[in-house]
Structure 1
Amino acid sequence: MNRKYEEYVPPTKSEALQNLTGGYEESEKQPKELQSLNEMDSVKQRLDNGENVSHMELLSYGFYQLNKSKSESSEEGEK
């Protein structure tokens, strides 16, 4: 029962930032909006081809379409 007690020391801010910025692939560095648009295009293409799409992808695509139609209708209302 000889256990050495080690106190948890959280990483410093610079260590945390270094951990966050390291190890990403180039595709993961895309802006979130562009990446999500590419994902939505992929989901739409798979739906059109009759392929299986996960529940979360289908739900995300539905919200994407809803948001897109809302923004288009609000732009028309401003004109």
Structure 2
Amino acid sequence: MLLQITYHDKATQTKTEEEDTIEKILKAITTLCTKVDSMDNEIQKLKSKASQQHDYKNVELRRSEDGKNPELKGDDGKLFV
């Protein structure tokens, strides 16, 4: 009878250790997913900021006269092929 109880206790202990290991793995995966999401959000912010800076740079490089005087008189912007 004592042998059966000891065997049962070991089986229960092993199961508990496996459950603890699985729980630790799931917590680690959850933490990693949260960090990846956070990094993705930060990357999107940086891309947006870089895009806006690029747009501002182009605005500064464009002369106001460029939009008012077309290179060719009578150019209506249509391309005939």
Query: TM over 0.5: same fold?
Result: no
More helix by share: 2
TM-score w.r.t. structure 2 length?
0.32
Larger Rg belongs to = 2
Higher relative contact order (CA 8 A, sep 6+): 1
TM-score w.r.t. structure 1 length?
0.33
